Amino acid sequence: MVSYIIRRLLMMVPVLIGMTLITFSIVHLIPGNPAQVILGETANQTAIANLEESMGLNEPYLTQYGIYVKDLLQGDLGTSLRSNAEISTEIWPYIAATFELTIFAMLFAIFIGVNAGIISAWKQNSWFDFLAMLFALIGVSIPVFWLALMEQWIFAQELGWFPAYGRQDNRDPIAPITYLYVLDSFIHLDFSRAGTILKHLILPSIALGTIPMAIIARMTRSSMLEVMKSDYIRTVRAKGSGQFLVIYKHALKNALIPVLTVIGLQTGVLLGGAILTETIFSWPGIGRYVFEAISYRDYPVIQSGILVVAFIFVIINLVVDILYKIIDPRINY
C-alpha cells in the first residue's frame, strides 16, 4: 500500500511540471508584448517598461520559468495587478467558498445518486426504476442556470424557505477563521449562525449537484446491474444471505469502482469553479475570481487560478486512485 502511494505520488511529478509549463506559457502565448496587453492599448511606454521590469519579463524565458517555479515552491503565487495583494493570501477565501459549496453539492449528489442507482438496479423495471431514470435523464439535460433561477423563484421568492443568494446574512457577517463558514461557525460555537449558513448552501448545492447526481445514479445503476449478474453474487445467495447483504456488501463494493471514477471527475469539475451557479447565487468562489480576473486582464491571478484548480484536480485523482486500491486489492500500478 505504502509503495503504491509513493509510486502514485512520483507519477504526479511530471503532471505538475506540465501544469506549471502551461500556466507559465499563458502570458507568453498572447500575441504581442504581454505588458502591453495587460495594460491596454492606451498605456504609455514608461508604464509598460515598469511592468516588464516588475514582472521580470526582460529576463530570458528559462530564467523566468526558473523564478516562477522557485516562487511557487515557496508558496508565492505572485501579486494581483488589480488589488496589488499577494495572490496566495487573496485566493484562499475564494477557494474555501468553492470548496464548501462543492462538498455539499457532492454529498447531495452522492447520497441521492448512489442510493437511487442501487434501488433502481435492485428493483429493475419497477415504477421506482422508471421514475428515477426519468429524473436522471432530466437531471443531466437540464441547464444549470435555468434550474438555479427556478429554485430562486420557487423556494426563495415564492415560498421564502431559503435565501436566494450569498454565503451568509451580510448584515451580520461571520469573523472568518478558515473561511469555510460552516466550520467557522462551529468553531465559534455559534449554532444558529451555522443554521443560517447551511440554509444559504442548500439552493446552490442542489443546483450544482443535480448533474453529478444524475450521472452518478445512472452509473451506479448500470454498474450494479452488471455486478448482480456475476457468479459470486449467486454464490452469496447460495450461502443463504439476504438481499440486503447481497446488495450493500457484495454487489455495491464491486460496483463502486466506475462510480468512484465518476465521483472523482465530477468533484474536480465542480471545484474548478462553476461560474454560472456562482454568479446566479452571488457565491464568491474561485470560478468568479478567475472570471473577474479575465475581464481585468489580471494575468498573474488567471495563472494562479488555473494552477490551483489544476492542482486540486491532480489531488482528487490521487485520492481516487488510493481509494481504488483500498476497495480492490487486485489493482496495482
Check residue 174 and give left, alpha or beta (phi > 0: left; psi -120 to 50: alpha): beta
**Per-residue x/- mask for other proteins, residues 247 to 286, rule CB under 8 A?**
---x--xx--------------------------------
Confirm or reject binding of residue 126 to other proteins (CB under 8 A). Answer: no
- CB 232 to other proteins: min, Å: 4
Identify whether the C-beta of residue 275 lies closer than 8 Å to the C-beta of residue 287.
Answer: yes
- Selected from 41, 158, 172, 231, the binder of other proteins by CB under 8 A is 231
Angle at 212 between CA 210 and CA 217, to 5 degrees: 95
DSSP-based three-state secondary structure for 86? strand
Examine residue 329 and tell whether it contacts other proteins (CB under 8 A).
Answer: yes
| Among positions 49, 173, 234, 319, the unique one binding other proteins when judged by CB under 8 A | 234
We find the least distance from the C-beta atom of residue 295 to other proteins, in angstroms, to be 50
CB nearer other proteins, residue 237 or residue 297: 237
Q: Is residue 120 within the footprint of other proteins (CB under 8 A)?
A: no
DSSP character at residue 158: I
Nearer to other proteins, 95 or 255 (CB): 255
Closer residue to other proteins (CB): 214 or 256: 256
Q: Is 238 in the site for other proteins (CB under 8 A)?
A: yes
- Among 2-10, 75-83, 98-106, 225-233, the segment contacting other proteins (CB under 8 A): 225-233
The reply to whether 1 sits near other proteins by the rule CB under 8 A is no
Q: Which of 274, 263, 270 is nearest to 317 (CA)?
A: 263
Nearest Cα to Cα of residue 132 among 141, 145, 143, 121: 121
Coil vs helix vs strand at 79 = strand
Residue 240 makes contact with other proteins by CB under 8 A: yes
**Cβ-contact 117, 224 below 8 angstroms:** yes
Q: Exactly one of 237, 261, 306, 323 binds other proteins (CB under 8 A); which one?
A: 237
Instruction: Tell me the three cell numbers of residue 285.
Output: 468562489
Of 107-115, 232-240, 278-286, 315-323, the window that binds other proteins (rule: CB under 8 A) is: 232-240
Cell of 173: 457577517
Question: What angle separates helix 191-228 from helix 127-141, to the nearest 10 degrees?
Answer: 120
**Of positions 85, 230, 248, 258, contacts other proteins by CB under 8 A:** 230
Question: Hey, CA dihedral for 313, 314, 319, 325, is it positive or negative?
Answer: positive
